[in-house]
Structure 1
Amino acid sequence: MKQSTRTSWHFNLISAVLAFLLWGGWAFVMNSGESVNRGLVAGLTQGTASFLITLCMVHAVTYLFHRFEKPLVKVVLPACIVICFTGFCLVNVHTLMGTQRILVTILPALMVAFSFCMFTSWRLLRIHQQQGVTQYE
C-alpha cells in the first residue's frame, strides 16, 4: 500500500500549538473556580495532552485513511476511531491528574477534534485525488 498522501509538518505543528493554547486555556478557565492551582494543573494537563494528541491524530488519521477503500469510509471512519481512543485517553489522564470537571473540560475539545479529524481526512482525500489516484487502495 502506497502512503505518499500526507499533510505538511507546518500544518501539523501549527494545529498542535493552537490546540495547546485553546484547550489548555479552556481547561484552566473551567477548573480554576476553586483555586488557580487546580485550574493550572487542568490547563497544563489538557494543553499538553491536546498538543500531543493533535500530532498523533494527524498521523493516526493518515494511517487509517490508507487502510480503507471507499472515499466516504476513508473520511469518516478514521475520525470516529481516533476520537473514541482520544476520549478514552483524556478521561483517564484527567482522572489521574485529579481534574474536577472532566466532561466539561474535554467535551468541547473532542467535538472540535472530531471536526479536525474529518477535515484532515477530507484534505487527504483531496490530495489523493489531485495526485490522480482514481482507484482507491
Structure 2
Amino acid sequence: MMKSASTASRSSAVHMAVAFIAMGGWAAFANSAHPMPGPLIAGVVQGTLSALITLFLKRMIEALSARYPGSVGTWLPPLVAVLSSLALLSSVHWLAGTPEIVRTMAVPLSVTAVYATVYNLALRRVAAGGVG
C-alpha cells in the first residue's frame, strides 16, 4: 500500500489529474453566478491549463534555478513561473470568454507563486549542500 501511494505521488499523470480537478472545480465555482455554459467552460479551460502548467512548471523551475547562480537564481524562477502563468491564463480565459477572469485566476496564480517559491528555495538549499 505504501509503495503504490509513493508511486502515485511521483506520477505526473496523478499530479495533472489533481490539478485539473482542483483548479477546474475552483474556476467553475468562481463563475457559478453566470449562466451555463460559462462556469463549465471556465472549469474545463482552467483545469486543462492547470494540468499542462503542472507538467511543465517543475521542469522550468529546475532549469532556471540551476542556470542562474546567486540571488538571481533565487527570485527569477518563481517570477518567470508566475508571469508565464499569468500571461497564459489571462490570454486563454479571455479567448474562451470566461466571465470572471480575475477571480478565476486568483487561486491558480497564488498556488503557482507559493509552489514555485518553495520548490525553488528547496532546490537552492540542496544545491548549496543543505539537507534536501
TM-score tier (shorter) = 0.7 to 0.9
- Structure 2 stretches of 5 or more lacking a match? 1-8
Q: Quote the residue 1:121 is aligned against.
A: 120
Matches for 1:55-94 after TM superposition, within 5 Å: 55-70=55-70, 72-94=71-93
| CA distance in structure 1 between the aligned counterparts of 2:99 and 2:50, rounded to whole angstroms | 18
Alpha-carbon deviation of 1:12? Answer: 4.9
How big is the shift at 1:23?
A: 1.1
> Which residue number corresponds to residue 39 of structure 2?
39
Runs of 5+ unmatched residues, structure 1: 1-8, 133-137
TM-score of the superposed pair, with normalisation by structure 1: 0.79
Once the two structures are TM-superposed, the CA of residue 77 in structure 1 deviates from its matched residue by 1.4
- Aligned equivalents of 2:121 and 2:89: distance in 1? 25
What are the superposed Cα offsets for residues 39-93 of structure 1, whole Å, 9 maximum, x if unpaired?
A: 11100100110110111111111111111111x4323210001211210111110
Is 1:97 aligned to 2:96, yes or no?
yes
Contact 1:12/1:58 (8 A) holds in 2 = no
One-letter code aligned to 2:22: L
User: Would the alpha carbon gap of residues 130 and 17 (structure 1) be closer, same or farther in structure 2, given more than 3 Å must change?
Assistant: farther
Identity across the alignment (%) = 29
Q: In 2, distance between residues paired with 1:11 and 1:61?
A: 18
Distance 2:43 2:17 in 1: 14
- Give distance in 1, aligned partners of 2:22 and 2:45: 13
Structure that is richer in helix per residue: 2
Aligned residues: 123
Whole-angstrom CA distance in 1 between matches of 2:36 and 2:63: 39
Taking only aligned residues, the RMSD between alpha carbons, in angstroms, comes to: 2.2
Q: 1:129 to 1:81 in 2, by over 3 A?
A: same
When the two structures are superposed, what TM-score results if normalisation uses the length of structure 2? 0.81
Measured in 2, the distance between the counterparts of 1:69 and 1:126 equals: 12
- More relative contact order, 1 or 2 (CA 8 Å, 6+ apart): 1
- Alpha-carbon distance in structure 2 between the residues aligned to 1:76 and 1:13: 28
Amino acid in the other structure paired with 2:109: L
